[in-house]
Chains A and B, each alone.
Chain A
Amino acid sequence: MFQLADFSVSFGTATALRRATLDIRQGDRLGIVGESGSGKTMLALALMGMAPDAAKIGGRLTIDGQDMTHASERTWQQMRARRVAMIFQEPMSALNPLRRIGDTMMEPLIVHEGLSRAQAQARVLALFEEVGIPDPAARLRMFPHELSGGQRQRVLIALALACNPALLIADEPTTALDANVALRITDLLVRLARERGMALVFITHDLAAVARTTKDIVVMYGGDMIERGPTAQVLAAPAHPYTQGLLAARPDPTVPPRDATGKRRRLPTLPGTVPPLAALPQGCRFSGRCSVELPQCAGTRPTDHAVDPDRSAACHLLGAAP
């Protein structure tokens, strides 16, 4: 349904997203993993046609076979909410503070589907029921500040689902929430995707959440998609040095926090930090921080190499070894 081919987003000389290729089908549950600045949010915004005005877009984006690469704002308005919807990171600030929840919820239904207020309200109540909001009728009259963070995120999910989108993008939906609330929200997203046959793109830096929610995973670094495959396999045996480093940096509960001499163990970390977009290496974006360095790494962009029939990684190491 949604296809990206060699899709790039750049600002002047800085490339936020480089030649991304992606194919999202009905029922897919795809995790996008990466650090801040890896391009994962830009990818999500691009799928919504909401890349900043200053962005230069290259490549091709098609939705249901329709070329949307340079589609007008009006065309995108028809796509948003009905074909692709999105929930955002900050449930606290993502709702208009001056509007009652009911008015915010009913607006897209009235605008897009031409429902009357009564019809829209009935739909909203059903949606609230579906996403597990208790006492839905009372919530309609409330203002956002009267709800908890978890409740607000459920409202935002209901809002995104209002016009039955084929694809739901969740951009770090749980980062701002308590751990136990976050768990319930991720489980809710999976349940909704299954029940509605809706594709889900789950963007996060939380590997545990990805493991729970998604079937497939794409790892991003510096605007490149560097590794992809079924979530379980990639997390069990990562092929790209960056993914390996990312997994090694997770705290392991089976390792005691102090070693034999009583010194505190330090978590393994990736050396260095992500360079600013404009200063990324031209070749492999990870060169310079990588534990292995081949002569071609800094200058030549690695292509995708198959690891398994349905797995690939963009790393020169995989090309070198037959």
Chain B
Amino acid sequence: MWYFIFRRTAGFVATLFVVSAVVFSVMNILPGDPALTILGLDATDDALAALREQLGLNQPVLARYVSWVWNALQGDFGISHSFRVPVSELIAERLPMTVSLAVAGMIFTLVIALSLGIGAAARHRKVGDWGVMFISQIGIAVPAFWLSMLLVLLFAVKLRWLPPGGFAGWSDPVAAMRSLVLPTIALGVVQSAVLARVTRSSALEVMRQDFVRTARASGLSRRRVLWRHVLPNALVPIVTIVGMQFAALVTGTIVIENVFYLPGLGRLIFQSISNRDLPTVQALVMLFAAIVVTANFVVDLLYVVIDPRLKART
């Protein structure tokens, strides 16, 4: 088992390096001169040359990559061209917003998907099952940005129950939660629809197994059998999907934060791209990629926690 964990950790670190190389290369292939962007079209050639020198743009590519990685490892992502502050400060300021939204979306997805999925499996080929399948089909088909607008129209504009957008931080927890409700739903609906279907089919597969019959023969209630015996055994495919969904939720915040005017990383990356703010974009793309890779790494480790048989095999 320790060998398994060691191998996965080594793979995790290696993947992060490959990702950083790809992100860096792509950013450098992009057309456009950062110096020109910063100083504007009227800048003199001397000023441009001086700025390129100051930004280190005249150094060889490899040297710039090494220094970027080295600085990034120490939390230094350079200075944002458009905000004129360190990128790390920008990220630190907006990270709580995005993390709150992604975590809320994940919790929403898990609660909705597991109860609908297990509920549908328990009512296999009955009305409840069909209902869940029908609703989840719609949920998968609805685009998040469109759903966001409908939610705002209904709950913020018409009913005035919830704010239409914005986020003032966690200093007022009630207000913070209220402003997170609509974005969370908009973000989580598609994911919970997908996950509900995965949960249902995975649970149905497990319910055919002999130990489920043993559990029922022990006089345990259907409910207990489903949640204590079927669900844990159905978790391996569920966790695989959840890992991918966490990545999708984090990247999904880009759209949702823009629709709801939430000051998070998604909105920051959108603004930085518009402003051709290369250091910021580069840092954010790297950060999003790192989150995706980390989610997959955590899923790999969870397999061993879920299934003790893997410990013996790996």
Q: A residues touching B (Cβ–Cβ < 8 Å)?
A: 48, 50, 73-74, 76-82, 85-86, 88, 90, 93-99, 107-108, 111-112, 143, 145-146, 156, 159-160, 162-163
B220 touches A77 (CB 8 A): yes
Tell which of B14-22, B135-143, B152-160, B305-313 binds the partner. Answer: B305-313
Tell me the minimal C-beta distance from A114 to chain B in angstroms.
13
The 10 closest A-B pairs by CB, nearest first: A80-B219, A81-B219, A93-B210, A108-B218, A94-B210, A96-B211, A94-B214, A86-B217, A143-B308, A77-B219
A95 touches B211 (CB 8 A): yes
**Of the residues B214, B219, B221, B309, contact of A156 by C-beta under 8 Å:** B214
A93-B211 CB under 8 A given contacts A98-B306, A98-B308, A145-B309: yes
Q: Which of B189-237 contact A (CB under 8 A)?
A: 209-211, 213-222, 224, 228-229, 232-233
A85 to B213 alpha-carbon distance, docked (Å): 12
A82 touches B213 (CB 8 A): no
B219 touches A88 (CB 8 A): no
Tell me the minimal C-beta distance from A109 to chain B in angstroms.
10
A88-B229 CB under 8 A given contacts A78-B219, A82-B219, A107-B220: no
A50-B217 CB under 8 A given contacts A98-B307, A145-B309: yes
A88 touches B214 (CB 8 A): yes
A111 to B222 alpha-carbon distance, docked (Å): 13
A-B contact pairs, 13 of them (CB 8 A): A76-B219, A79-B219, A80-B219, A81-B219, A82-B219, A96-B229, A97-B211, A98-B307, A99-B232, A107-B218, A107-B228, A111-B219, A156-B214
Tell me which residues across on chain A come within 8 A of B213, comparing CB atoms.
Answer: 50, 88, 94
A94 to B218 alpha-carbon distance, docked (Å): 12
B233 touches A97 (CB 8 A): yes
Of chain B, the residue at the smallest CB distance from A90 is: B210
A88-B210 CB under 8 A given contacts A108-B218, A108-B219, A111-B220: yes
Q: B residues touching A (Cβ–Cβ < 8 Å)?
A: 209-211, 213-222, 224, 228-229, 232-233, 306-309, 312
A97 to B233 alpha-carbon distance, docked (Å): 8
Tell me which residues across on chain B come within 8 A of A79, comparing CB atoms.
Answer: 219
Tell me which residues across on chain A come within 8 A of B210, comparing CB atoms.
Answer: 88, 90, 93-94
Of chain A, the residue at the smallest CB distance from B222 is: A73
Residue in A50, A94, A96, A107 with the greatest tally of chain B CB atoms within 10 Å: A96
Of chain A, the residue at the smallest CB distance from B209 is: A93
A76 to B214 alpha-carbon distance, docked (Å): 14
B220 touches A108 (CB 8 A): yes
Of chain A, the residue at the smallest CB distance from B216 is: A50
**Of the residues B216, B224, B228, B306, contact of A80 by C-beta under 8 Å:** B216
A163 to B218 alpha-carbon distance, docked (Å): 9
Tell me which residues across on chain A come within 8 A of B211, comparing CB atoms.
Answer: 93-97
Tell me the minimal C-beta distance from A80 to chain B in angstroms.
4
A96-B233 CB under 8 A given contacts A88-B210, A111-B219: yes
Tell me which residues across on chain B come within 8 A of A156, comparing CB atoms.
Answer: 214
Tell me the minimal C-beta distance from B118 to chain A in angstroms.
16
Of chain B, the residue at the smallest CB distance from A76 is: B219
Tell me which residues across on chain A come within 8 A of B233, comparing CB atoms.
Answer: 96-98
A146 to B224 alpha-carbon distance, docked (Å): 25
B219 touches A143 (CB 8 A): no
A96-B308 CB under 8 A given contacts A107-B220, A111-B220, A111-B224: no
B219 touches A97 (CB 8 A): no
B309 touches A80 (CB 8 A): no
Of chain A, the residue at the smallest CB distance from B236 is: A98
Tell me which residues across on chain B come within 8 A of A93, comparing CB atoms.
Answer: 209-211
Tell me which residues across on chain A come within 8 A of B309, comparing CB atoms.
Answer: 97, 143, 145
Tell me the minimal C-beta distance from A321 to chain B in angstroms.
44
**Of the residues A48, A97, A99, A111, contact of B217 by C-beta under 8 Å:** A48
Tell me the minimal C-beta distance from B72 to chain A in angstroms.
40
Tell me which residues across on chain A come within 8 A of B312, comparing CB atoms.
Answer: 145-146
Tell me which residues across on chain A come within 8 A of B209, comparing CB atoms.
Answer: 93
A162 to B221 alpha-carbon distance, docked (Å): 17
Of chain A, the residue at the smallest CB distance from B229 is: A96
B218 touches A98 (CB 8 A): no
Tell me which residues across on chain A come within 8 A of B228, comparing CB atoms.
Answer: 107
Contacts A81-B218, A112-B219 aside, 19 further interface pairs with beta carbons under 8 A come to A50-B216, A73-B221, A77-B220, A81-B219, A88-B213, A88-B214, A90-B210, A93-B210, A95-B211, A96-B211, A96-B214, A96-B215, A107-B220, A107-B228, A108-B218, A145-B309, A145-B312, A160-B217, A163-B219
Of chain B, the residue at the smallest CB distance from A77 is: B219
A143 to B215 alpha-carbon distance, docked (Å): 16
Tell me the minimal C-beta distance from A174 to chain B in angstroms.
16
B218 touches A159 (CB 8 A): yes
Tell me which residues across on chain A come within 8 A of B222, comparing CB atoms.
Answer: 73
A81 to B309 alpha-carbon distance, docked (Å): 28
Tell me the minimal C-beta distance from B250 to chain A in angstroms.
29
B221 touches A81 (CB 8 A): no
A111 to B221 alpha-carbon distance, docked (Å): 10
A163 to B220 alpha-carbon distance, docked (Å): 12
A77 to B222 alpha-carbon distance, docked (Å): 9
Tell me which residues across on chain A come within 8 A of B220, comparing CB atoms.
Answer: 77, 107-108, 111
Tell me which residues across on chain B come within 8 A of A94, comparing CB atoms.
Answer: 210-211, 213-214
Tell me the minimal C-beta distance from B226 to chain A in angstroms.
13
A97 to B312 alpha-carbon distance, docked (Å): 13
Tell me the minimal C-beta distance from B204 to chain A in angstroms.
14
A80 touches B217 (CB 8 A): yes
A80 to B218 alpha-carbon distance, docked (Å): 6
Tell me which residues across on chain B come within 8 A of A50, comparing CB atoms.
Answer: 213, 216-217
